[in-house]
Amino acid sequence: MFHVPPYDPADGNYFRRAAYVVYPKLPRVIEAYITTFERAQAEIQAYERAHPTPPDAPAWSEPLTDEQAKLTAQALDKSIRASVERLAETEPKLYNAQPDWRMKDISVGSGAEADAILREFFHFAEYASDAFGWWRFSFPKERGFPKGKDWMRHGWKHITPGDLEEIAGRVKSGNHPLDDLMPPIDLLPDSHKEREALFRNAARGVPEAVARLHFLFPTESDKREAAEYSLGLPRNEIAQLLSQIPSPGALAAQWAHVAVRRPDSDEAAEARRGITALIAKSSARGSKVGRPKIPFSVEMTVTVYRMSYVLYKQLREVDRFLKKLISGDDQRSQKLGHLYPWLARELRPDRTTNFATHQPTEGA
């Protein structure tokens, strides 16, 4: 979920948490974590020694000459590239160093204690999920965070149903999780030719293109950022292109004027068709002019799959934990239905009787 926790409960009665790492307070788990984490740190330090960060850009007195500006830009580019490479190499090592444990490893003596353990785990998992940031998976490849994280093994410890519901809802609506912070550039067509066609058709007043572009990028700054990122044209050409794109309101007013003043003319008929296309839901959600094959990015779809996988794995872990106290499948399924309300809807009598029979394999 996309909120900042009001406080940071790093140490509980049964679990500890450090950023997105949640683990039980079991001696063998803690010892294994310390050993693995120290090994990962040693590997990272060795990598950093072999790949030192380039020196900072030279300090120049103002104003800069063309040559000084070029040298400064080159030094800055090297530094940025080195930072990205360092992140790609080190972050997965730290992530994969977290403990590999199971809920059933935790001792429990009563139903009340089991409830307390699960409440604390879910509480920590929510904070860990905030720290992990599942929305980062939904960036295009060139802007996504480093690969190599073993999320299939560890993801169940930092996921909540609310996270999945929120991002899945964004996917269904065609909105990116970060729409409020940055324009959804990843929803533009994949090919450069299609992206350029979308902008140029909008500049020509093609209604589907105007609607789609203004739906994705409602402000002028958003359009400019999207054009600069995706078209690869000089800034003066981009400015000229954007200046030719009408707003939906201006375009609709122009067509309405024609339709009212000359209602029986061919121009009026064309204007009415233009207004209809401009306000059509399909135009805003996915224009026929330069539209993506799907109304949301592949990365967002993959994110929902990954989150679904690890949430199901978390549910399996909780089910096996409850089995230490509740042997009956039906009773355990009722308990799971209280913990995961969405599961209760899936376990209705007209679908399946309990979670045990709902599971196709033991491979999750």
pTM to 2 decimal places: 0.57
SS3 of 17, please?
strand
Judge residue 324's burial from the number of C-beta atoms within 10 Å of its C-beta, 0-12 exposed, 13-18 middle, 19 or more buried: middle
pLDDT reported for residue 125: 92
SS3 of 23, please?
strand
Residue 57 reports pLDDT greater than 60: no
> In the predicted model, what is the mean pLDDT of residues 11-32?
84
d(CA 359, CA 211): 44
Scanning the chain, the segments in alpha helix (DSSP H) are: 27-50, 66-96, 111-132, 151-154, 161-173, 192-203, 207-216, 220-231, 235-243, 248-261, 266-279, 281-285, 298-322, 329-339, 341-346, 355-358
Instruction: Enter the tokens of residue 222.
Output: 């958003």
- CB neighbour list of residue 331: distance below 8 Å, 6 or more residues apart: none
Domain spans, the chain = 27-100, 111-174+296-364, 187-285
Among 110, 124, 119, 133, which residue's Cα sits nearest to residue 23?
124
pLDDT reported for residue 161: 87
pLDDT tens digits for range 287-318: 454 444 445 566 677 778 888 899 999 999 99
pLDDT tens digits for range 87-132: 556 778 778 888 889 999 999 989 999 999 999 999 999 988 888 8
Q: Which amino acid is at 311?
A: L
Q: Is 78:54 a contact under the CB 8 Å cutoff?
A: yes
> In the predicted model, what is the mean pLDDT of residues 188-209?
85
The per-residue pLDDT of the chain, averaged, comes to 75
In the chain, the percentage of residues whose pLDDT exceeds 90 is: 14
pLDDT reported for residue 176: 52
pLDDT band at 158 (very low <50, low <70, confident <90, very high): very high
pLDDT reported for residue 283: 80
